A and B are shown apart, each in its own frame.
Chain A
Amino acid sequence: MDEMKRKIREILSVRLKLAAAVEKICDDTPLFGPDSLGLDSIDALELVLGLQKEFGVVIEDRTVAVKVLASIDTIAEYVESQGKG
């Protein structure tokens, strides 16, 4: 799980070019909305593509995306629930 979270942070750092900001957040910090990492819809798409490339998980449904991309924790839980990672 820790290795998976490290990879998720790497996606945020490298694909989304948020290295400095990512170092400061916790695994349960919200990624979107107020008091969050401040991602927008384009970042969300980039994150979905990064997760697909890294872990082979395909997120196509927007309502699923909203739940899964809430935080590093929720992403990791989802990837694990899909038997990936």
Chain B
Amino acid sequence: MTAAADRVILVTGGGRGIGRAIALAFSSPGHAVAVNYRNDHDAASETVEQIRRHGAAAESFQADVADLEQVRTMIDAVVSRFGRIDVLVNNAGGNRDGFLAMMSLDDWNSVIDVNLKGVFHCCKAVVRLMMAERRGTIVNVSSLSGITGLPGQTNYAAAKGGVNAFTRALAQELAPFGIRVNAVAPGLVESDAASAMPKDHRDRLLANIPLRRLGKPEEVASIVRFLASDDASYITGEIIKVTGGI
């Protein structure tokens, strides 16, 4: 049994992409990182292995954030394993893009469930622990889409816009308890989703990015790590765009 961690971080959707980069950003010695995943156990295991190689403790925890009971069970398991949760990073999310005229109710519901209700579920499940300890911080991974809206993403934009408003409201609720709540809003970032995008669509988007390139997952992760750190001790209720200038 290793010594108790200085800081315990839970990253939802930590197996791949931005979530993995965020989990790795917290992988310094003394930290314990709980890596949540829904389906891809192998990816989560790989993230855990990489974190351990950097000297932090790590373990993967399966749960669908869209399901409150699964989230509660996961939080209990994380606390049982690492003793507490100091940092919650709500990263789990997903798209089902399509024009509203062609969007099924299932496309709408599933995107709202994972992106917006998932954030509610995870915050709901950890917030009492943090309030009781008078410490903790939450960082939500939102999206530029939730600020500007993007065609084909009414469901995703509504969910992420909801996350932004949720972040601001919860920050005010939890400020008296010394708990900070912030969000990052990435633009177009190198990821599985970006790779799957048709080239012409991707080129059109690139032309609108002042820095003329996609972001790297690590460039989002570093802002998440900053917001979760004491360096950001006077920042709460903030949505920081990480968009290459959009």
A49 vs B102: C-alpha distance when bound (angstroms): 10
**A45 nearest in chain B by CB position:** B99
Q: Does B1 sit at the interface, judged by CB under 8 A?
A: no
For chain A, give the interface size range: 10 to 19
A60→B152 contact, CB < 8 A: no
A62 vs B152: C-alpha distance when bound (angstroms): 13
Interface centre among A59, A61, A62 (most CB of B within 10 A): A62
Partner of A60, one of B102, B198, B200: B102
- Least CB distance from A29 to B in Å reads 20
B104→A61 contact, CB < 8 A: yes
B residues in contact with A59, CB < 8 Å: 102
For chain B, give the interface size range: under 10
Partner of B104, one of A40, A45, A49, A60: A60
CB-defined interface of A39-61 with B at 8 Å, one 1/0 digit per residue?
01100110011000000000111
- Least CB distance from B233 to A in Å reads 45
B residues in contact with A61, CB < 8 Å: 102, 104
A49→B101 contact, CB < 8 A: yes
A41→B101 contact, CB < 8 A: no
A65 vs B102: C-alpha distance when bound (angstroms): 9
Q: Does B149 sit at the interface, judged by CB under 8 A?
A: no
Interface centre among B102, B104, B152, B198 (most CB of A within 10 A): B102
B residues in contact with A60, CB < 8 Å: 101-102, 104
- Least CB distance from B135 to A in Å reads 46
The 4 A-B residue pairs whose C-beta atoms are closest, nearest first, are A45-B99, A62-B102, A62-B98, A45-B101
Q: Which residues of A contact B (CB under 8 A)?
A: 40-41, 44-45, 48-49, 59-62, 65
Residue contacts A-B, CB under 8 angstroms, 23 given: A40-B198, A40-B200, A41-B98, A41-B99, A41-B152, A44-B102, A45-B99, A45-B101, A45-B102, A48-B101, A48-B102, A49-B101, A59-B102, A60-B101, A60-B102, A60-B104, A61-B102, A61-B104, A62-B98, A62-B102, A62-B104, A62-B107, A65-B102
